[in-house]
Structure 1
Amino acid sequence: MNNLLHFLASTQRGFIHLLRISIFIVMAWIGGLKAFQYEADGIVPFVANSPLMGFFYAKEAPEYQAYKNPEGKTVTKNIDWHKANGTYIFSYGLGAAIVAIGLLTLAGIWSAKLGVVGGLLTFLMSIVTLSFLITTPEVYVPNLGGDFPTPNHGFPYLSGAGRLVLKDVIMLAAGLVVASDAAQRMLKKQN
């Protein structure tokens, strides 16, 4: 047991670099997917309902609900609506920003300054994402009504979208850990 404890303690820096690589993988993958129609369509409820981001779209919430495309399906009238809404242009820009944050965080392996910036941006992005738990109705299980109403709906019952958003709590903490490590490295250089 003592050997395991010594191993874990002596490899902390390597694990923090692994955390940077993990953040990069998530950011590059999710940011890269923003270039695809299904992903751009999928983020509309989050963006449209957000007071921090809703202004990027031409149409106001909840109009988007009538133009949802099922994942992987292309409905021409819905695509046209999303083009007029600015859905795809916004998604391309957001994807590029997310990939850039991932690259800055990864660069923290070699550059403490870039690592601080990447870690703090990861933290800030996670705060924005977590705000969707307050602003986006689709993050909770809906009450479907009917003969058999959903007994467990609304807060705290997270839908698939809500469970995806909640995971950003981990990214929030990871961003602070890698920023803190990079800040320590910068301070050591100053002394």
Structure 2
Amino acid sequence: MGIRQASADDLASVGISVLRGALATNILWIGSLKFKQYEVENDEPLVVPSPLFSRLRKKLGAQKLNRLIGVTEITLGSLIAAKPLAPRASAIGSFGAIGMFLTTLSFLATTPEARQQGQGRLSLSQLGQFLLKDTVLLGAALLTAAESLGAARPAGNP
């Protein structure tokens, strides 16, 4: 293995570690905010028009729904961060995050406020731009899932 390959491998290793830490931190931090009233109010434009979440909101109420989302996010972030101790659990957390980000990206289609009024279908509002960043987080969750599965594989088992 040459110097170039070792450097590329080292950089990839550092990159995945930074990515995992950032993904876990983002999910944990956002999950902890779900217990604040202002976050319940901020989520209303997303939850109310969503076919899935509007039903849950009616059943649980806005505050309990946000708390459920917060507990879920804190759990997923903790699992993702647990990779050095529990790579399989970390993979489960990453797969859960993949589902979560696919769900939040669906809000681009169900939330009228995600588009800038009168500017065409592809003109995102500030809320839409906020949601679009979840494509990057989705990619991070896919990479951390793959890396965790690789670490969970028994030695000598490709």
Q: TM-score, normalised by structure 2?
A: 0.89
3-state SS, counterpart of residue 189 of structure 1: coil
How far off its partner does 1:102 sit? 0.5
Q: Give 1:37-186 correspondences, 5 Å limit.
A: 37-58=37-58, 86-143=61-118, 153-186=119-152
3-state SS, counterpart of residue 118 of structure 1: helix
Q: Give the structure with the higher percent helix.
A: 2
**Structure 1 unaligned regions, length at least 5:** 60-84, 144-152
**Structure 2 unaligned regions, length at least 5:** none
Q: Determine the C-alpha separation between the residues in 2 that align with 1:176 and 1:185.
A: 14
Query: Which string of whole-angstrom CA distances, capped at 9 and with x for unpartnered residues, describes residues 47-90 of structure 1?
Result: 1111122101229xxxxxxxxxxxxxxxxxxxxxxxxx811111
Cα RMSD (Å): 2.1
Match of 1:187 in 2: 153
Q: How many residues align?
A: 156
Q: Could you say which structure has the larger radius of gyration?
A: 1
How far off its partner does 1:3 sit? 6.1
Q: Determine the C-alpha separation between the residues in 1 that align with 2:65 and 2:156.
A: 41
For the 8 Å contact 1:116–1:179, the answer to whether it is kept is yes
Q: Determine the C-alpha separation between the residues in 2 that align with 1:5 and 1:139.
A: 44
How far off its partner does 1:189 sit? 3.4
Q: TM-score, normalised by structure 1?
A: 0.74
For the 8 Å contact 1:40–1:87, the answer to whether it is kept is yes
For the 8 Å contact 1:17–1:109, the answer to whether it is kept is no
